[in-house]
C-alpha cells in the first residue's frame, strides 16, 4: 500500500510539474495553435487557390498601372483637351475615370481660365515628375488594388503616384483612379 501511495503521489507531482504548469501549458498551446493555423490555412486556401490568385491579381494590376502611366508619359500632350482625348481612347480605363478627369479639368478652367488646374491631375504633380515609373508598393483589397509607382528616371526623382486598379466583368484590370482623380 505504501508503495502504491508513493507512486500515485509521484505521478500526481509529475503531472502537475510537467503538464499543468502554466508555462509548459502556454508553450504547448502556442505551438499547437500555430500548427493548427498553418494546417487550417493550407486546407482552406489550397483547393480554391486564393493565395496564387492574389499574387497573379497583384502582378496583373501592377503591370496595367505601369503600362498606363508609362504610356501616358511617353505620349506628348499639348493641353487638357489632348489629355482628355488620349484617356478617352484608352480601353484600359474605366468610364468613371474618364468622366472625373474631364470634370476636374473643366471645373478648373471655369474657375481660372488662364491657369486651369495648374498641375497634372493624372500624375498628381507639378514638378519633379519622372519619365519612367515602376511599382514600389501595392495595397490589395478584394474590390481593388492600389498600386504605388515611383519614378525611376531621371535619377534621384522621388515622385510617386497612386493608381487604383479594379477588375471589370471580364477579369481585366483597369484604371479606376490615378493621381488627383478621386475614387
pLDDT digits (tens, 9 = 90+) for 105-161: 889 888 887 778 888 889 887 655 667 889 999 998 878 999 999 988 777 788 899
Q: What pLDDT is recorded for position 95?
A: 95
Model confidence at 24: pLDDT above 60: no
- Residue 22 cell numbers, joined: 502554466
Domain match, 109 and 156 both? yes
Instruction: Kindly report the CATH number assigned to the domain that includes residue 89.
Output: 3.10.450
Domain match, 110 and 72 both? yes
pTM of this prediction? 0.69
Domain match, 74 and 19 both? no
- Between CA 150 and CA 107, with CA 158 as vertex, the angle to 5 degrees is 75
- Residue 177 cell numbers, joined: 483612379
Domain match, 83 and 142 both? yes
* 46 lies in some domain: no
Domain match, 103 and 171 both? yes
Which residue range forms the structural domain that includes residue 168?
58-178
Measured distance CA(162)–CA(122) in Å, rounded: 9
Domain match, 159 and 125 both? yes
With a CB cutoff of 8 Å and minimum separation 6, the contacts of 65 are: 135, 147, 149, 163, 165, 175
pLDDT tens for residues 64-121?
999 999 999 888 887 888 999 999 999 999 999 999 999 998 898 888 877 788 888 8
Domain total for the chain? 2
Instruction: Judge whether 57 and 173 are in contact, CB under 8 Å.
Output: yes
Measured distance CA(135)–CA(72) in Å, rounded: 16
Domain match, 18 and 105 both? no
Confidence at 46, pLDDT banded by 50, 70, 90: very low
Amino acid at each position: 500500500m505504501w508503495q502504491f501511495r508513493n507512486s500515485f503521489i509521484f505521478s500526481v507531482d509529475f503531472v502537475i510539474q510537467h503538464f499543468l504548469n502554466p508555462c509548459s501549458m502556454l508553450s504547448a498551446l502556442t505551438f499547437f495553435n500555430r500548427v493548427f493555423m498553418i494546417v487550417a490555412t493550407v486546407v482552406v486556401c489550397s483547393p480554391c487557390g486564393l493565395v496564387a490568385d492574389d499574387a497573379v491579381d497583384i502582378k496583373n494590376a501592377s503591370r496595367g498601372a505601369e503600362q498606363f502611366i508609362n504610356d501616358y508619359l511617353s505620349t506628348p500632350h499639348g493641353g487638357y483637351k489632348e489629355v482628355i482625348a488620349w484617356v478617352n481612347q484608352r480601353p484600359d480605363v474605366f468610364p468613371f475615370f474618364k468622366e472625373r478627369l474631364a470634370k476636374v479639368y473643366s471645373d478648373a478652367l471655369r474657375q481660372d481660365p488662364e491657369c486651369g488646374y495648374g498641375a497634372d491631375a493624372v500624375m498628381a504633380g507639378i514638378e519633379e515628375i519622372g519619365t519612367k515609373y515602376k511599382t514600389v508598393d501595392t495595397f490589395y483589397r478584394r474590390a481593388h488594388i492600389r498600386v504605388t509607382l515611383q519614378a525611376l528616371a531621371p535619377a534621384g526623382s522621388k515622385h510617386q503616384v497612386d493608381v487604383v486598379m479594379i477588375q471589370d466583368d471580364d477579369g481585366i484590370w483597369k484604371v479606376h483612379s490615378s493621381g488627383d482623380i478621386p475614387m
